[in-house]
A and B are shown apart, each in its own frame.
Chain A
Amino acid sequence: MKNFVLAGLLAGAMALPASAYTIIAPANPGGGWDQTARTMQTVLQEEGISPGTQVQNVPGAGGTIGLAQFAAQNSGKDDALIVGGYVMVGAILTNNSPVSLKDVTPIARLTGEYEAIVVPAASPIQNMGELVEKLKADPGAVSWAGGSAGGTDHIAVGLIAKAAGVDPTKINYIAYSGGGEALAAILGNQVTAGISSLGEFEAQVQAGTLRLLAVSSPERIEGVDAPTLKEAGVDVELQNWRMVAAGPNLSPEQKAKVTADVEKMVKSANWQEQLKTKGWMDTYLAGDEFDKQLEADTAATATVLKDIGLVK
């Protein structure tokens, strides 16, 4: 460990021209953002793009605490990055966060995961159609287990209800902290259905303890035996994406430099290999296209959260 730190410092000192990035993971160690930040660190170091890269965790409140701190401390700096994602878009709105993604410089979307809807194997519900029927008959009777309130999972349930013609304020969404606790509630038959990133459920689906009803991708996912929500008659498409942003007030040159570094990282074989072992999809998107996508997602999320009643 000591040797490693020493080696890192030495390597950093020798390669002074390349800037040493500090990546903020606005979450606790172990979560998706933390893993994204630490994977970036590994690749940036090993590919020699920025050998002295550090990761710092500033957890809390769907990433908004880390975002606020980051925006305040890194104006005009091109060596600080923050990892974030779709969950942050919702958290900024529900928490009434004074700092939003407009106060930083979004660089690129990096990875994404699709949502999966499951029921326990013992459930009488066999397919998405039956679940939607049940939801239409009595929205309150369908309890959904998923991640934090106002997060991707919650938004997905709101969208499903809306698409099925059910009043989104009537949904019975039970928020759990993190995928693990929600999974336990689903496996223990405590709730009607569960919703989370596909990866969280995959092992259980393979073992036959959970039944996969549908996924939120635009097309069927290879190797996954389930229809898309659209095929199942629910017009919803949703990706839980993760992004990287830099500090506010960057000059165009600074932004170009950071974007180039990130692109170099994403295009490396090392990064692709890391994504494969972690089961993440490469959904790299940068520049104006990403800005447009971000704006569209923010607007759509604001509408859904208002519909659910989480944002006034």
Chain B
Amino acid sequence: MGAFDLLMNGLVTAADPMLLLYALIGVTLGTAVGVLPGIGPALTVALLLPVTFRMDPAGSLIMFAGIYYGGMYGGSTTSILLNTPGESASIITALEGNKMARKGRGGPALATAAIGSFIAGLIATLLLAFFAPFIVKKALAFGSPEYFALMMLAFVTVSAAFGDSTLRGLTSLFLGLALGCIGIDQLTGQTRLAFGQAELLDGIEVTTLAVAMFALGEALAVAGTRNKAEEKVEAVKGSVWMTRQDWARSWKPWLRGTLIGFPIGAMPAGGAEIGTFLSYSAEKKLSKHPEEFGHGAIEGVAGPEAANNASAAGTLVPLLTLGLPTSATAAIMLAGFMQFGLQPGPLLFATNPGLVWSLIASLLIANFMLLVLNLPLIGLWVRLLTIPKPWLYAGILLFATLGTIGANPSTFELGMLLGFGILGYVMRLFGYPIAPIVVGLILGPLAEIHLRRALSISQGDWTVLFHSYLSIGLLTAAALALIVPVILRARGKGQVLSQLAGDED
């Protein structure tokens, strides 16, 4: 039986009313926890594991997959409307999405995120179904030198998207890199810059920094400028739905985001946020409206949102084919498999094809349900913005604080949230972009660990970084992205470039 027949069989199995109900429960729960900062899909699945022990394996795994996809969907809603990214994968969405929302285009922003997530989820799930064994082989070829090259590419392209002042962008980035050095060094187990604080041992939580910078910093900034003339927030300007132009500007970013996100999700050390960074900078480069970036460009929402959902499907590739959990949620799903005596790994497709294919089929169904669940809610969500500003921002502060405490119940964490919130306010005041500091905190430690692993394995031989075509290709692309703008500038085309760069905040 070919893969197609197996998938059809799976669809028939998954269309069982009970399984559909599990999928519905999963996506509803998933969307809810995605909306709440602090409670991630991983914790939700962990809480449900003991409950599902008595259920049949297919049903509970389908529910877990629904939660996983739903979480990726829900994360975008708070990013766009409240500038409060609930998940690290939706940080980039806040950049353009919240600007759109403030211009009364929250509806189209949510719609492009939802439809983009659906399309990305659909394509990525099909890729997972038909090419998983092939993709996983390629993904395993990614060793530390290749990861390091990928990080370099991400650094260079994302830095280029940092707004009009390179100096300010880099200052912010290096602040993030410095924060990334805090905590236990993974390779030696020694602590760095923790100053004896137990809470700093594991480094600074990305979501704490992101929520502080985006939500708290913003609330303080709004409070600080209350008496001055301020931009008027209109909840809805024009249609709640996407216009013809919105569609025309969204479909390519959706596809590109999918193609960027899926393979990165499939890599054992990829991570959804890296795909969103790369997608954002790709869209900014390719857009016909680069001047809109930083002021609410729809491409900047469509691409990264597609990328993060595609990478969610990508994560299932190593999980199903190798038994490799590459994210916290995948790790719990693995525990779920084991609970039912199933060993995910190279033999799962062979020993349990029925279950695997009904899981894949139910992912398709869950994806469709999410679209049906989310699109009608958009009209309701955007009404959040009609709440008077003082109330809205007080609500955001409460929400952000509760989320942080929920994720990490300690007063020190709360202190960090406030401290970074004030830092975010000061940075806004002096025109420093805030995205690079978060990017630095995410990418810095990854780049460092991969470089050091590569050098450790090669016993200090730097040429290991250029040993594979993959890493040479990635490093060349990074070098080009760095050098070409300099040459263009030298040849007197600087004006075009500064126009391209736009400003972010």
Q: Which residues of A contact B (CB under 8 A)?
A: 1, 4, 28-31, 34-35, 38, 41-42, 45, 56-62, 64-65, 68-69, 91, 94-96, 98, 140-141, 143, 148-150, 154, 172, 174-175, 177-178, 180-181, 183-185, 187-188, 190-191, 202-204, 206-207, 209, 277-279, 310
Contact = CB atoms under 8 A, between A and B. Distances in A.
A1 to B, nearest CB: 7
Contact of B201 (A35, A60, A278): A60
A172 B144 CA distance: 15
Contacts of A202: 343
Contact of B347 (A35, A149, A191, A206): A206
A30 B331 contact: yes
A35 B143 contact: no
B43 interface: yes
Greatest chain B CB density within 10 A among A29, A94, A191 is at A29
B343 to A, nearest CB: 5
B323 A203 contact: yes
Contact of B46 (A34, A141, A177): A34
B48 interface: yes
Contacts of A64: 198, 201
A203 B344 contact: yes
Q: Across chains A and B, which 7 residue pairs bring their CB atoms closest together, nearest first?
A: A203-B345, A30-B331, A149-B189, A184-B268, A60-B202, A29-B46, A207-B346
B318 A190 contact: no
A187 B324 CA distance: 11
Contacts, number: 152
Nearest to B25: A1
Contacts of A180: 268, 318, 324-326, 331
A16 B491 CA distance: 80
A277 B456 contact: no
Contacts of A57: 43, 46
Contact of B48 (A1, A59, A61, A149): A1
Contacts of A204: 322-323, 345-346
Nearest to A35: B335
**Secondary structure of the A side of the interface?**
helix
A86 to B, nearest CB: 15
B325 A30 contact: yes
B190 interface: yes
Given A38-B50, A60-B199, A172-B459, 11 more contacts: A45-B50, A61-B201, A69-B410, A95-B191, A172-B457, A175-B188, A175-B189, A180-B268, A180-B326, A188-B143, A279-B338
Nearest to A93: B189
Interface of B: 25, 29, 42-43, 45-51, 53, 139-144, 184-191, 196, 198-199, 201-202, 268-269, 318, 322-326, 328-329, 331-332, 334-335, 338-341, 343-347, 409-410, 453, 456-457, 459
Contacts of A181: 268-269, 326
Greatest chain B CB density within 10 A among A56, A149, A177, A279 is at A149
B410 A29 contact: no
A172 B188 CA distance: 11
B60 to A, nearest CB: 13
A61 B202 contact: yes
Contacts of A203: 323, 343-347
Given A30-B334, A190-B144, A177 B49 contact: no
15 contacts: A1-B47, A42-B53, A45-B50, A62-B189, A65-B201, A175-B186, A178-B325, A180-B324, A181-B268, A183-B324, A184-B139, A185-B144, A188-B143, A190-B457, A203-B323
Greatest chain A CB density within 10 A among B42, B48, B329, B335 is at B335
